[in-house]
Structure 1
Amino acid sequence: MFNRTTLLVLAAALAAGLGLLAARFAFAPQTTHAPPMKAVHLIDPPRAVPAFSLRQSDGTPLVPGELKGHWTLVFLGFTHCPDLCPTTLAELARAQKQWESLPETTRPRVLFVSVDPDRDTPDRVGEYAHAFHRDTIAATADVPTLERFARSVGLVFAKSPPAADAPADAYAVDHSATLVALDPDGRMAGIVQPPLDAGAIASDFTQLTKAAP
């Protein structure tokens, strides 16, 4: 069980993680090899992401090689999220519709990773994400794997206990609202911070896709 002290520590860790992420990239230089961006803050040079293995909604592993060849936007969340997750996925779906004319072989991708594996089975995550857009990649894993993956891309999450008079499974999960951009080589190449603008996101990732070698 969580107590008040534990909750405060988790909240502080989440806030610190978000602050460090923002500080790390707020003044990062835009790469000179890309067109001016409206929504994504590019970092140069991109950062390698350690090997990972998540579980996709169809039960197959999601490993770094699966994402190569595409720009990918990574978003952490969970299906019981009351506001941030549905709002973000709805805005990303609008961006996805705008780049649907790009070739499927290079079209940008959205990866939704549930950080609530106790309630979110892979197929449940897929059902939830695909309700916003059919092309969204949905995945999850056990908590240690999710923690390693989140850290590798500069994101954080922490389970928050339910109210004293609420059921044990009525907890929430605090998580980063920032999106991480992986380049076609699977490297961490930038971030997108809220508030999100679907038009700006679609424009940026369309340009990045067309500029990719």
Structure 2
Amino acid sequence: MFNRTTAIVLVAALAAALGLWASQKYFGSAKRSHLPQTQAVRLFDPPRTLPAFSLRQSDGTPLIPGELKGHWTLVFLGFTHCPDVCPTTLAQMSVAQKAWEAIPESTRPRVLFVSVDPERDSPDKIGEYAHGFHKDTLAATADVPALENFAKSLSMVFAKVPAPPGAPANQYSMDHSASMAVLDPQGRMAGLVRPPFDSNAIARDMAALTEASP
């Protein structure tokens, strides 16, 4: 049901998108000729260096900017109690991941699932959840302030939606951006993939970007 929290998230997402669009228009008039044309992945110039962040991976180790270097990475925000968008997206990404399994592991594209619900999603839980879709999916979370800073750096948003009247307090939901951020092998934000997602087109784009990268 559309509510005030959802409206706030939508307004914030629109503001973030407009800011990203403005930065692309101002800074991105020249295209990177060494990269291929893409169908599902919307690239922009110049790629944006992310501010410092520290998340916690499902195995308990820190996820810092350096960990994301060397691969093209799709980043998706979600939570394990998500009824539809998150499992559907991760299932679609598992199709893409299977398509690029032949790419050497050292450069193979990656999918990073970031839970924005640390109250209910422990590192172990998000790992079990993400790996249920594909064994190579990375999973991470953090405390809310760190997650807010990370999401903001990707021009994304999320917000807690209280449980319906009469329901237990822990039956809340989370509104979050449905797009995926695209990070380049330098760990910079290089583009977006917006729903609806085409698994095969995403797989082709990510494989082509990987092949074209030095």
- State the TM-score, normalized to the length of structure 1: 0.93
**CA deviation map 1:98-141 (0-9, x unaligned):** 00000100000000000000000000000000000000000000
**8 Å CA contact retained: 2:123, 2:141:** yes
SS of aligned partner of 1:190: strand
Map of 1:211 onto structure 2: 212
Please tell me whether residue 38 in structure 1 is matched to residue 33 in structure 2: no
**8 Å CA contact retained: 1:31, 1:42:** no
| Aligned structure 1 segments of 4 or more residues deviating by more than 2 angstroms | 10-13, 20-33
Please tell me whether residue 65 in structure 1 is matched to residue 66 in structure 2: yes
CA distance in 1, matches of 2:6, 2:132: 30
**8 Å CA contact retained: 1:50, 1:152:** yes
What's the % identity of the aligned pairs? 62
SS of aligned partner of 1:169: helix
Structure 2 unmatched runs, 5+: none
Aligned length, in residue pairs: 206
**8 Å CA contact retained: 2:17, 2:155:** no
SS of aligned partner of 1:102: coil
**8 Å CA contact retained: 1:25, 1:41:** no
Map of 2:109 onto structure 1: 108
**8 Å CA contact retained: 2:115, 2:126:** yes
CA distance in 1, matches of 2:170, 2:155: 27
CA distance in 1, matches of 2:162, 2:209: 41
Q: 28-37 or 167-176, which moves further after superposition?
A: 28-37
**CA deviation map 1:136-174 (0-9, x unaligned):** 000000101100110011110000000111011000000
CA distance in 1, matches of 2:109, 2:15: 27
CA RMSD in angstroms comes to 1.5
**CA deviation map 1:9-67 (0-9, x unaligned):** x3233112322344434976653331110101001000000111100000010111111
Map of 1:195 onto structure 2: 196
2:10 maps to a residue whose letter is: A
**8 Å CA contact retained: 1:114, 1:125:** yes
- State the TM-score, normalized to the length of structure 2: 0.92
**8 Å CA contact retained: 1:25, 1:43:** no
SS of aligned partner of 1:118: coil
**CA deviation map 1:163-191 (0-9, x unaligned):** 11101100000000000000000000000
2:8 to 9, 13, 32: 13
Map of 2:135 onto structure 1: 134
CA distance in 1, matches of 2:210, 2:87: 26
1:13 maps to a residue whose letter is: I
